[in-house]
Structure 1
Amino acid sequence: MAAFAVIGIGLHERQAEAHHGWSSYESEARTLVGPVTALSYANPHGTIEMTAEGKAYQVILAPVSRMNSRGLSAEMLAVGTQVTVVGYVKRDDPGEVRAERISVGGKTIELR
């Protein structure tokens, strides 16, 4: 029984390490406008890469099930598609943004 407890603790710690801590992001939102340059529509959350203001950004989206239920499909985020992202820049990596909402094709989707 003790072995199961140790294994359970180890798994829990690894899951916590793999998840983003939102406190590591700025508290003031920024708006980025530009084309999608890459897409990962997969769990634990989707991501896009985009360019805005002459810089490259990796944008952390929501879990796939949430994006689907709110009407944001992978097809809407095809490479080359213009998007507007409102989100929070990571304090120690200004190239990473946690998206609060995304606008694409005349539709705005809340991600949190």
Structure 2
Amino acid sequence: MLQLRFTCLLCFAVFAAFLATSAVHAHHGWAWASDEEFEITGVIQSVRLGNPHGRVTITVDGEEWVVEVGQPWRNDRVGLTKEMLSPGREITVHGHRAAEEDMRKVKAERVVIDGKDYNLYPGRDS
């Protein structure tokens, strides 16, 4: 009986540690971004979709910006495809820019292409 209690307690401790670690890792994706809403419009130069997040490079007033879009499953869920993110297309990004002012990077919450919204984080206001 004592062995069973010990095993249950050990399993619970491992599970609790896993949950705590998962929460920390889930939060890392926004740690570098400011809390303020941000919007930018530019022309797509290149795209790399994949894990952990897709990256779209856009040109705005002669400067390159990196836009972090969602994970593959998140992009798929809203219908955002590589074809839509093709070079030469205009894109408007709503989200949060990097907290470091000299870093030209944006975490996208929502993007607009050809007048259509793709809300990557529907639970957030953007």
The TM tier, using the shorter chain, reads 0.7 to 0.9
Distance 2:49 2:57 in 1: 11
Structure 2: state its 5+ residue gaps: 1-20, 122-126
CA contact (8 A) 1:76 1:105 kept: no
Please, what is the CA RMSD of the aligned residues?
2.3
TM-score normalised over the length of structure 1: 0.77
Secondary structure of residue in 1 paired with 2:36: coil
Structure 1: state its 5+ residue gaps: 1-11
The answer for the alignment partner of 1:111 in structure 2 is: 120
Count of matched residue positions in the alignment of Structure 1 and Structure 2: 100
CA contact (8 A) 1:67 1:111 kept: yes
Identical residues among aligned pairs (%)? 32
AA in 2 matched with 1:44: P
The answer for the alignment partner of 2:103 in structure 1 is: 94
| Post-superposition CA distance 1:79-112 (Å, at most 9, x none) | 1110000121111352111111100022101112
The answer for the alignment partner of 1:50 in structure 2 is: 58
| Post-superposition CA distance 1:22-51 (Å, at most 9, x none) | 132111111111110110011111110001
Q: Residues 45 and 21 of structure 1: is their aligned pair in 2 closer, same or farther, counting only changes over 3 Å?
A: closer
The answer for the alignment partner of 1:80 in structure 2 is: 88
TM-score normalised over the length of structure 2: 0.69
Q: Whose strand fraction is larger, Structure 1's or Structure 2's?
A: 1
Runs of 4+ that moved beyond 6 A = none
